[in-house]
Amino acid sequence: MSDVDRSKEDALWRAIVENYGERADLDDATTDRAADRHTGDGASVGSTETASEAAEASSEDQASAAGTAEPVDGADHQAARDAEAARREREFEAQHEVPERFVPPEPPPLPYVPPSRLLAWCLMVGGPLLLLLSLVLDFWLPGIIQLLAVAGFVGGFVYLVVRMPRDPRDPWDDGARV
């Protein structure tokens, strides 16, 4: 390459990079030039040769020197890569079979709460909440409302404790669920 000046060498490399992965269109004139180049006849390879034709000729020279005489087709390589990727994906899916996603059953409806129990819960939570809000927001509650809030809390708590079941649902149940 010492006889080729630097600008032609840069043009050749630029042409190789631009045509990378694409199939080169070979016409009879190009193959004749490449054949003349191999035989040493420099009459057909002249200064009118374009950079892409020179790149094709040099790539053919490199391919023949490497032992591969047929041109490389970029579309065939892409199709082969796509087919190989699809085959690997099928193998992966076969080896790592993804189970169907778990869909939980519909939850049962909420249990019926008797109105007396609901009132007890509201009194037990609402009484202290009312007293706490009056303290935080700094407003004065009359003494009777404060007494009713405390009585509601105590009454709701006592009612819920009295209505609590005495014996366990299942004597052999330790609370573990599967």
In the DSSP assignment, the letter for residue 159 is: H
Structure tokens that stand for 163 in this block = 């209505």
Q: What is the pLDDT of residue 26?
A: 61
Report the predicted TM-score, pTM, of the whole model to 2 decimal places: 0.38
Backbone angles phi, psi at 116, to 5 degrees: -65, -40
Contact 118, 159 (CB under 8 A): no
Which has more pLDDT, 119 or 80?
A: 119
At 92, the amino acid letter reads: F
Rounded CA separation 161/121 (Å): 11
Sign of CA dihedral 66, 70, 75, 79: negative
Supply the pLDDT for residue 66. Answer: 47
Phi-psi region of 133 (alpha: psi -120 to 50; beta: other; left: phi over 0): alpha
Given this model, what pLDDT does residue 40 score? Answer: 52
Across the range 1-11, mean pLDDT stands at 73
pLDDT at 170: 74
State how far the alpha carbon of 51 is from the alpha carbons of 15, 23, 48, 66, 149, in Å.
6, 16, 9, 22, 96
Backbone angles phi, psi at 80, to 5 degrees: -65, -40
Q: Tokens 């994906």, residue?
A: 89
User: H or E stretch including 172?
Assistant: none
pLDDT tens-digit readout, 35-54: 555 555 444 444 444 545 55
